[in-house]
Amino acid sequence: MNAPIDTRFVAAEFVAIADAAVCLANGGLVAFPTETVYGLGADATRAEAVAGIYGAKDRPKFNPLIAHVANLDAARREGVFDASALRLAEAFWPGPLTLVVPASATCSVSDLARAGLGSVGLRVPAHPIAAALLRRVARPVAAPSANRSGRVSPTLAAHVLVDLDGRSDAVVDGGPARVGVESTILACLGNGVHVLRPGGIPRDAIEALIGPLATETAEDGKLLASGQPLISGQPLPPGQPLAPGMLASHYAPRARLRLNVEVVEPGEAVLLFGGHRPAGLERSGPRLDLSPDGSLVEAAASLFAALRSLDASGAATIAVSPIPTSGLGEAINDRLERAAAGR
Ligand code: TXA
Ligand code: MG
């Protein structure tokens, strides 16, 4: 027998992740699980790779993408962290938080991924598969939610296939996303900390760390109108939303949504919460309770899958029970309002 050699024991998952990393490094598109929703990833440093994301999603080009990195050190090579950005990153990373900070002089995230802005959106995801992939690729990975633009975000690999089969080189299946709503996006651009999008880290957890937040949304033009330097010293072009992804109708099922419903119309599909029994339920179409026990954590995790499933029933309208606005309820209500907008 030959002299014994070092036999590597390699988990099957590792092979899949190594394979996905090679695909990304070659400029391909890989959909992968994060703790919030599945992302459609590409090498953020290469404009051609990033262009593939916009193409696969049919996404308007003015929408900047979040650059995902393995850890805070990697993030600090891409962006400039002031004291509050640093505290937030140290407290909530890895986790469902995105920080929009001024791009650093060494920022490698392509202009296309940043939509030409002087800032960069950075996130260190907490999913073990995402973390392993990012460590392996060792460069920022641009990843919007892995759905076609304007559709409901995917919380299962099967959802990704519905929208992106034939459009992404690979989909890494990591089971259901634990959090279920996208990351909270905070802007730390030197004039206070602003919420650009409510999400997986509730407001009260953030305020417990750094004190009261200022809230500015796309609809709230105050900051923009103030002409203050928002993005690395450059005011945004007039009319450009602060977080451009926050267009009013963003998370849209095909069916019309009716919110805070106390009386269900005959045949409507119904999205319930906490065992709520609106009047008319006996004549309704299919119904789902996001959390019979009234847990907002459970409701966030099941929200997008429930919307997809009720939408697939073919009902013209989905009636939605009132959902509390505390904790993760802010992000849940935000997504429902967007899904209901303009329909
Ligand atoms: O949980 C999440 O955040 C998921 C997972 C995959 O990480 N990603 C996600 O990405 O939701 P996306 O592309 O669907 O939403 C990114 C949001 C958009 O609203 C975009 O406008 C905003 O981030 N954004 C990114 N960079 C920005 C920047 N430099 N300035 C302002 N907004 C930015
Ligand atoms: Mg999205």
Average pLDDT score over residue span 218-243: 43
Rounded to the nearest angstrom, the distance between the alpha carbon of 245 and the centre of ligand 1 is 7
- pLDDT value for 7: 86
Rounded to the nearest angstrom, the distance between the alpha carbon of 38 and the centre of ligand 2 is 10
Q: Which residue has the higher pLDDT, 141 or 237?
A: 141
Cis peptide before 94 (omega within 30 of 0): yes
264-293: pLDDT as tens digits: 999 999 999 999 999 999 999 999 999 999
Domain spans of the chain, in order of start: 8-180, 256-340
68: exposed, middle or buried (Cβ count in 10 Å: 0-12, 13-18, 19+): buried
In this structure, which ligand is nearest to the CA of 103? 1
65 secondary structure, DSSP code: -
Q: What are phi and psi of 201, to 5 degrees?
A: -100, 115
Beta carbon of 64 within 6 Å of any ligand 1 atom: yes
Average pLDDT score over residue span 181-199: 91
Listed range (230-244, 256-270, 295-309, 313-327) with the worst mean pLDDT: 230-244
Residue bearing the CA closest to ligand 1, atom 18:
245
Whether residue 44 contacts residue 110, with contact meaning beta carbons closer than 8 Å, is answered with: yes
Beta carbon of 44 within 6 Å of any ligand 1 atom: no
Average pLDDT score over residue span 211-229: 52
Rounded to the nearest angstrom, the distance between the alpha carbon of 250 and the centre of ligand 2 is 8
Whether residue 171 contacts residue 161, with contact meaning beta carbons closer than 8 Å, is answered with: yes
* CB-side neighbour CA atoms (13 Å) of 183: 32
Beta carbon of 144 within 6 Å of any ligand 1 atom: yes
Q: Is the pLDDT of residue 340 over 60?
A: yes
Average pLDDT score over residue span 186-198: 88
- CA dihedral of residues 173, 174, 175, 179 (deg, nearest 10): -130
- pLDDT value for 138: 97
Residue bearing the CA closest to ligand 1, atom 10:
144
Average pLDDT score over residue span 250-268: 91
pTM: 0.88
Beta carbon of 35 within 6 Å of any ligand 1 atom: no
Top-ranked range on mean pLDDT: pick from 106-120, 153-167, 180-194, 228-242 = 153-167
Q: Which atom of ligand 1 is nearest to the CA of 244?
A: 21
306-322: pLDDT as tens digits: 999 999 999 999 999 99
- pLDDT value for 248: 46
Residue bearing the CA closest to ligand 1, atom 3:
183
Q: Which atom of ligand 1 is nearest to the CA of 181?
A: 1
Average pLDDT score over residue span 100-114: 95
Average pLDDT score over residue span 196-222: 80
Q: Is the pLDDT of residue 234 over 60?
A: no
28 secondary structure, DSSP code: -
Site to probe by mutation for ligand 1, drawn from 40, 65, 219 as the one with most ligand atoms within 8 Å of Cβ, is 65
pLDDT band of 61, cuts 50, 70, 90: low
Site to probe by mutation for ligand 1, drawn from 160, 185, 303 as the one with most ligand atoms within 8 Å of Cβ, is 185
Average pLDDT score over residue span 172-188: 96
CATH number of the structural domain 256-340: 3.40.50.11030
**CA-based nearest residue to 223, from 251, 192, 246, 266:** 192
Q: Is 56 helix (H, G, I), strand (E, B) or coil?
A: helix
Rounded to the nearest angstrom, the distance between the alpha carbon of 6 and the centre of ligand 2 is 45
Average pLDDT score over residue span 104-132: 94
pLDDT above 70 covers a percentage of the chain that reads 88
Q: Which residue has the higher pLDDT, 325 or 240?
A: 325
pLDDT band of 191, cuts 50, 70, 90: confident
Site to probe by mutation for ligand 1, drawn from 35, 78, 98 as the one with most ligand atoms within 8 Å of Cβ, is 98
- pLDDT value for 201: 98
Listed range (56-70, 129-143, 165-179) with the worst mean pLDDT: 56-70
| CATH code 3.20.20.370 for 8-180 | no
CA 313 to each of CA 237, 261, 310: distance values in angstroms, whole numbers, following the listed order: 42, 19, 5
Residue bearing the CA closest to ligand 1, atom 20:
245
Beta carbon of 117 within 6 Å of any ligand 1 atom: yes
